[in-house]
Structure 1
Amino acid sequence: MKLKVGVFAGLLAVGICDHALAADTVVVEPGSTAYNWSGVYAGVMLGYGTGDSTAVSDGGFDGSAPEDRADLSPGGFAGAAVAGYNWQRGRLVYGLEGELGYLGAKDSFWEPEGEDYFGQTEYGLYGSLVGRVGFAVDRTLISAKAGLIVADIDYGYGDTDDGEPDPEGSIFESRAKAGFTVGASLEHAFTDNWVGRLDYSYSDFGSHDRTDEYDATYKVSDDIHMIRIGIAKKF
């Protein structure tokens, strides 16, 4: 599953670049800004991701979890390769961007305070495709973005038996989950070809239901925040 997510995101990034290279020249109004942001770019971003993963049950956890729910706060390394294309008209800059990355965010607990329930979640590879729009002030660009994201998320929730998951009273899944992502970036061109970036994004993967072998239903939901710094080369 992780390989499929990576291939999917990689094809998106390549498609963006192929389309950009075939695009017409974009007009920048004379005197509007000294730096031209239009063109193909590619780079890397590194930082940290943290979020919330929750399972709410109608009778799972063997009645041990308070209010029949488990709340996790996965966190960890976040890194990605990005590629995209900008168009510019006056101070308005807009474009498309593909991202392929890895999230090391994870969290778990087992038998908290002597109770017999558990929860665990772990992110992996992800890919996204977003549209961007921003405002340029010479070599500085402030932009917002929104689009789609697909991430590999492994999780497990349920009852324990002698310190191990009860196979009939638990749910486990490793799957690629799709969601929406929004965010903002502050970029500065230090040279004509090298651009630094401070980037924030929020991704929501929604919720879905899973049922254990005792017919207890769990509503599982996940979201993640990422803040990263990066560098890109403009071609």
Structure 2
Amino acid sequence: MIRALLLSSALSLVAAGTVFAADLPSTKGEPVYAPPPPVFSWTGFYLGVNGGYGGNNVSFDSQEDEGGAIFEESREKLTSSGFVAGGTIGYNYQVPSSNFVLGVEGDFDWSNIRGDLSEGFSDDGGSEGAGVGSRLNWLATARARIGYAVTTPFGNLLPYVTGGGAFGNVESYSYEYDDGEGESESFGHTWAGWTAGAGLEYAITPNLSFKAEYLYVDLGKHLGDSEYLGADIYDNVYEHFTANIVRVGLNWKFDWFAPPPPPPVVAKY
């Protein structure tokens, strides 16, 4: 009888302790819901560097007038090639709830794209000749860009097309030599034209991207000085500079106007 009474008392104490413990406040922290990572966007200002290689034909179209009528024409072409390197500034705007990206971009590149066209011959152990040349000293562009953002298992890509204005400083020169002695003349001019191309940009991180692009540049056809270009027998000499440029670059995007991430959601009971 006493044993049964003691066992019953012990069971009552255990049950009471369990009920009391259930009423105590929990020492565990409140569960926190972590929101998914923000969706990547191309929107933002960016600065970058670029470099590449370019080249094409520079043409010289010569005309001889007689009484206001052109009775003789000729065309000479020289092959130009060289490197470009410089900086980039731009802004992208990704249309909300869309993959379309609109942007503007400007760049300024130093250049050594150049080419020469010369003729010479030897006579009685000596040599003489003459030639003309053209060198692009710098190139600047101001372009619009239209792209379509693509998300792949390898990351975020932005294929795009681009086009706009181009500005370049072209230095034209001529030279003559006779038995090792020669003279040269040159003059520079800044021309405006147009450019168009396409490219692909890859987001390495949310702020750093790598791009590769192709540009065709046409600085127009301009009347030059026939004397400086070594074509004294012609009355008019026109110079036409074009270039095909392939370059790569790195851009850093600034999230100055990006909205802050949403605060974590805390579940309350």
Q: TM-score, normalised by structure 2?
A: 0.65
Q: Secondary structure at the match of 2:149?
A: strand
CA distances 1:42-80 after superposition (whole Å, capped 9, x unpaired): 1111110112211011249xxxxxx73321111111112
Contact 2:118/2:129 (CA < 8 Å) preserved in 1? yes
Distance in 1 (CA, whole Å) between partners of 2:107 and 2:140 is: 5
2:52 pairs with 40, 47, 51, which one?
Answer: 47
Structure 2 match to 1:7: none
Distance in 1 (CA, whole Å) between partners of 2:150 and 2:102 is: 14
RMSD: 2.5
TM-superposed CA distance for 1:193, in Å, is: 0.8
CA 1:137–1:111: 2 relative to 1, 3 Å: same
Contact 2:133/2:173 (CA < 8 Å) preserved in 1? yes
CA 1:84–1:92: 2 relative to 1, 3 Å: same
TM-superposed CA distance for 1:185, in Å, is: 1.2
- Structure exhibiting the larger radius of gyration computed from Cα positions: 2
2:94 pairs with 88, 96, 100, which one?
Answer: 88
Structure 1 match to 2:149: 136
CA 1:143–1:190: 2 relative to 1, 3 Å: same
Contact 2:173/2:184 (CA < 8 Å) preserved in 1? no
CA 1:110–1:164: 2 relative to 1, 3 Å: farther
Distance in 2 (CA, whole Å) between partners of 1:52 and 1:34 is: 46
Question: Does 2:149 align with 1:149?
Answer: no
Contact 1:72/1:108 (CA < 8 Å) preserved in 2? yes
Structure 2 match to 1:101: 109
5+ unaligned residues in a row in structure 2: which ranges?
Answer: 1-37, 66-72, 123-127, 255-269
1:215-234 aligned at under 5 Å gives the runs 216-234=235-253
Structure 2 match to 1:173: 187
TM-superposed CA distance for 1:130, in Å, is: 0.5
CA 1:132–1:216: 2 relative to 1, 3 Å: same
Structure 1 match to 2:32: none
Structure 2 match to 1:70: 76
CA 1:135–1:112: 2 relative to 1, 3 Å: farther
CA distances 1:26-57 after superposition (whole Å, capped 9, x unpaired): xxxxxxx9420000111111110112211011
2:140 pairs with 127, 130, 139, which one?
Answer: 127
Distance in 2 (CA, whole Å) between partners of 1:217 and 1:36 is: 54
Structure 2 match to 1:13: none
Of Structure 1 and Structure 2, the greater helix share is in 1
Distance in 2 (CA, whole Å) between partners of 1:220 and 1:41 is: 36
Question: Does 2:61 align with 1:56?
Answer: yes
TM-superposed CA distance for 1:118, in Å, is: 1.5
Structure 2 match to 1:22: none
Q: Secondary structure at the match of 2:205?
A: coil
Percent pairwise identity? 27
CA 1:164–1:55: 2 relative to 1, 3 Å: farther
5+ unaligned residues in a row in structure 1: which ranges?
Answer: 1-32, 61-66
Specify the code of the residue in structure 1 equivalent to 2:41.
N
Contact 2:64/2:235 (CA < 8 Å) preserved in 1? yes
